[in-house]
Amino acid sequence: MAILEVENIKKSFGKTEVLKDISFSLNKGEVLTIIGSLGSGKTTLLRCLNFLEFAESGTISVRDKLVYNGENHKKLKDAELRENRLHFGLVFQQFNLFPQYTVKKNVTLAPSLLKRNTPEEIEEKANALIKRVGLEEKCDSYPATLSGGQQQRVAIARALALEPDILCFDEPTSALDPELTGEVLKVIRSLKGHDSTMIVVTHEMQFAKEVSDRVIFMADGKIEEEGTPDEVFGNPKSERLKAFLSNSL
Amino acid sequence: MQEFLTVIDALNEGFFQTFKLFAVTLLGALPLGLIISFGSMSKFKPLSYFTKTVVWVIRGTPLMLQLFIIYYVPGQLSGGASPWSAFEDDRFIASCVAFIINYACYFSEIYRGGIQGVPVGQREAGEVLGMTKTQIFFKVTLLQMVKRVVPPMSNEIITLVKDTSLARIISYQEIIWAGYSFIKGSRGISGIVWPLFFTGLYYLAFNGILTLLFGYIEKKLKHFN
Ligand SMILES: Nc1ncnc2c1ncn2[C@@H]1O[C@H](COP(=O)(O)OP(=O)(O)OP(=O)(O)O)[C@@H](O)[C@H]1O
Ligand SMILES: [Mg+2]
Residues in chain A with CB shorter than 8 Å from the CB of B124 are 52, 92, 96
CA of B130 to the centre of ligand 1 (A): 24
Any bridge partners for residue A2, and if so which?
A27
Measured CA to CA, the distance from residue A220 to residue A125 in angstroms comes to 41
Measured CA to CA, the distance from residue B43 to residue B105 in angstroms comes to 19
Nearest to A201 by CA among A240, A169, A245, A162: A169
Alpha helices, DSSP H, located in chain A: 42-49, 78-85, 103-114, 119-132, 148-160, 178-191, 205-211, 229, 239-248
> Mean pLDDT, to the nearest integer, of A113-141?
94
Collect all residues with Cβ–Cβ distance below 8 Å to A241 and sequence separation of at least 6.
Answer: A217, A219, A224, A225, A232
Residues in chain B with CB shorter than 8 Å from the CB of A77 are none
Measured CA to CA, the distance from residue B159 to residue B41 in angstroms comes to 25
Nearest to B27 by CA among B110, B107, B146, B137: B107
For the cut 80, the answer to whether the pLDDT of residue B48 exceeds it is yes
- Amino acid A151 reads Q
> Mean pLDDT, to the nearest integer, of B147-168?
95
Q: Do B132 and A78 touch (CB under 8 A)?
A: yes
- What three-state secondary structure class fits A4? strand
pLDDT at B74: 82
For the cut 70, the answer to whether the pLDDT of residue B165 exceeds it is yes
pLDDT at B80: 66
ipTM of the complex: 0.93
pLDDT at B185: 82
CA of A221 to the centre of ligand 2 (A): 12
pLDDT in tens, A214-237: 999 999 999 999 999 999 999 999
Q: At what angle do helices B2-40 and B194-220 cross, to 10 degrees?
A: 40
Least confident of A120-129, A155-164, A180-189: A180-189
Measured CA to CA, the distance from residue A103 to residue A18 in angstroms comes to 36
For the cut 80, the answer to whether the pLDDT of residue B82 exceeds it is no
Measured CA to CA, the distance from residue B198 to residue B209 in angstroms comes to 18
Task: Report which protein residue has its CA nearest ligand 1's atom 25.
Answer: A38
The closest CB to that of A85, out of B128, B143, B225, belongs to B128
Measured CA to CA, the distance from residue B37 to residue B31 in angstroms comes to 10
Distance of CA A47 to the CA centre of its chain: 9
Rg (CA), chain B: 21
A116 at B interface, C-beta within 8 A: no
The closest CB to that of B144, out of A51, A100, A162, belongs to A100
The domain made up of B9-224 is a member of CATH 1.10.3720.10: yes
Q: Do A110 and B131 touch (CB under 8 A)?
A: yes
Domain spans of chain B?
9-224
Q: Which of B124-128, B183-187, B194-198 holds the top average pLDDT?
A: B124-128
> Mean pLDDT, to the nearest integer, of A68-78?
87
pLDDT at A178: 87
Strands A166-170 and A88-91: parallel
- pTM for this structure? 0.85
CA distances for A237 relative to A22, A213, A224, B89, B181, angstroms: 19, 18, 10, 86, 93
The number of C-alpha atoms within 13 Å of B194 and in the hemisphere containing its C-beta is 6
> Mean pLDDT, to the nearest integer, of B74-91?
77
The beta strands (E) that lie in chain B are given as none
Q: Do B128 and A88 touch (CB under 8 A)?
A: yes
Contact A138, A106 (CB under 8 A): no
pLDDT in tens, B191-213: 888 999 999 999 999 999 999 99
Residues in chain B with CB shorter than 8 Å from the CB of A142 are 223-224
CA of A38 to the centre of ligand 1 (A): 8
Q: How confident is the model at residue B42 (pLDDT cuts 50, 70, 90)?
A: very high
Task: Report which protein residue has its CA nearest ligand 1's atom 18.
Answer: A41
CA of A42 to the centre of ligand 2 (A): 6
Q: How confident is the model at residue B78 (pLDDT cuts 50, 70, 90)?
A: confident
Average pLDDT, chain A: 93
Average pLDDT, chain B: 92
